[in-house]
């Protein structure tokens, strides 16, 4: 007789747990419906989709077909898959590869220094920027000036205009 009671209690506990999941899902569904009482078409927010998907995942698929009223069980399971995918998506934490680009403010400063001081080479411009608190390499300065169409210091000095000469 004790074995029969044990089996009966186990089955009753299992059924109770499953029924509790169904009740929790239905309560969440009702809460969602009440939030959309005035709307004709129910448009779910991401938070509502996540809540419904979490509750629906714990209910058997066959039982879910019987109790869902708002959306199909396939939709609920799709929402759950998207929720899990979003949880493990690391795209927000990814960074771009390589060095970050030089700030536009510093690029303009380098071009201005080179244009106003034709005798200054890359090292002299780098020293002036260091005095202003900007650490930048000679190669970066060379690239910036090349992109701006300015020659290195000796060629820049030789191409003095008549207005500058006079």
DSSP string of 3-61? HHHHHHHHHHHHHHHHHHHHHHHHHHHHHHHHHTSS-SS----HHHHHHHHHHHHTS-H
To which H or E segment does residue 144 belong? helix 138-147
Q: What share of the chain is helix, strand, coil (3-state, %, to 5)?
A: 65, 0, 35
- Residues 159 and 151: beta-carbon distance below 8 Å: yes
Give the model's pLDDT for residue 64.
79
Reported residue count of the chain is: 166
Residue 106 has a pLDDT of 92
Tell me how crowded residue 18 is: count the other CB atoms within 10 A of its CB: 14
Residue 157, pLDDT score: 60
Q: Could you tell me which of 158, 147, 93 has the C-alpha nearest to residue 119? A: 158
List the chain pLDDT tens, one digit each, 166 residues. Answer: 687 777 777 777 877 888 888 888 887 887 777 677 666 667 788 888 888 888 888 888 887 777 766 778 888 888 888 888 888 887 777 777 888 888 999 999 999 988 888 888 888 999 999 999 999 998 999 899 888 888 777 666 666 667 766 6
**Taking the domains of the chain in order of start, what are their residue ranges?**
9-87, 104-165
């Amino acid at each position: 007789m004790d074995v029969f009671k044990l089996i009966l209690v186990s089955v009753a506990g299992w059924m109770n747990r499953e029924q509790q999941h169904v009740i929790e899902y239905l309560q969440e569904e009702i809460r969602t419906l009440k939030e959309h009482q005035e709307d004709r078409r129910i448009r779910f927010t991401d938070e509502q989709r996540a809540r419904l998907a979490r509750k629906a995942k714990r209910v058997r698929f066959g039982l879910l077909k019987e109790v869902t009223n708002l959306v199909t069980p396939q939709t609920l399971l799709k929402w759950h898959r998207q929720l899990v995918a979003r949880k493990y998506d690391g795209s927000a934490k990814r960074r771009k590869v390589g060095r970050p680009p030089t700030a536009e403010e510093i690029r303009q400063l380098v071009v201005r220094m080179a244009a106003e001081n034709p005798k200054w080479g890359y090292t002299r411009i780098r020293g002036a920027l260091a005095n202003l608190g900007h650490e930048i390499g000679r190669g970066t300065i060379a690239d910036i000036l090349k992109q701006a169409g300015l020659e290195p210091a000796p060629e820049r000095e030789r191409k003095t205009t008549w207005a500058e000469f006079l």
